[in-house]
């Protein structure tokens, strides 16, 4: 996939699976984005509150220890309401995921393709 003309936007990837987080971060880096990573919502919240630079989008798993994606999104809405959040999930039937439908949530279902991930991220950032 060619490098995107992203203007070096920064995406925070929040995923408890090391393998999935590394893959997603690698793909986004190859697409031209700067990437920060966190293994759970608490670590992500700390990065957003004191980032090494601006965060333009949060891409988070729904089900994680410490703090899941739904709670993270709620906390981010309080401190950075302009910051878009995209959810990754392999549990479309889970009740905690279904609760996200009450909000204007953006979701990508695991497993996903590199193209689907890139297109969703680009669409969300372009709409910002």
For the stretch 88-125, pLDDT in tens is 987 666 666 565 554 445 888 889 999 999 999 999 99
Q: What is the pLDDT of residue 54?
A: 87
CATH of domain 10-127: 3.40.50.2300
**Domains in the chain: boundaries:** 10-127
Q: Which residues in 1-128 belong to E strands, given as ranges?
A: 10-14, 34-38, 57-61, 85-89, 106-109
| pLDDT tens per residue across span 41-79 | 999 999 998 866 789 999 999 888 888 888 999 999 999
Sign of the dihedral defined by the CA atoms of residues 1, 23, 69, 37, in that order: negative
| Cα 121 to chain centroid, rounded | 9
């Amino acid at each position: 996939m060619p490098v995107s003309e992203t203007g070096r936007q920064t995406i925070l990837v929040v995923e408890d699976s090391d393998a999935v987080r590394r893959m997603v971060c690698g793909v986004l880096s190859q697409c031209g984005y700067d990437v920060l990573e966190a293994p759970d919502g608490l670590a992500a919240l700390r990065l957003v509150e004191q980032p090494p630079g601006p965060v333009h989008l949060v891409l988070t798993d729904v089900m994680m220890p410490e703090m899941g994606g739904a709670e993270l999104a709620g906390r981010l809405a309080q401190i950075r309401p302009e910051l878009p959040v995209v959810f990754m999930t392999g549990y479309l039937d889970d009740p905690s995921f279904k609760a996200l439908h009450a909000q204007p949530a953006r979701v990508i279902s695991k497993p996903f393709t590199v193209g689907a991930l890139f297109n969703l991220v680009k669409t969300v950032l372009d709409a910002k």
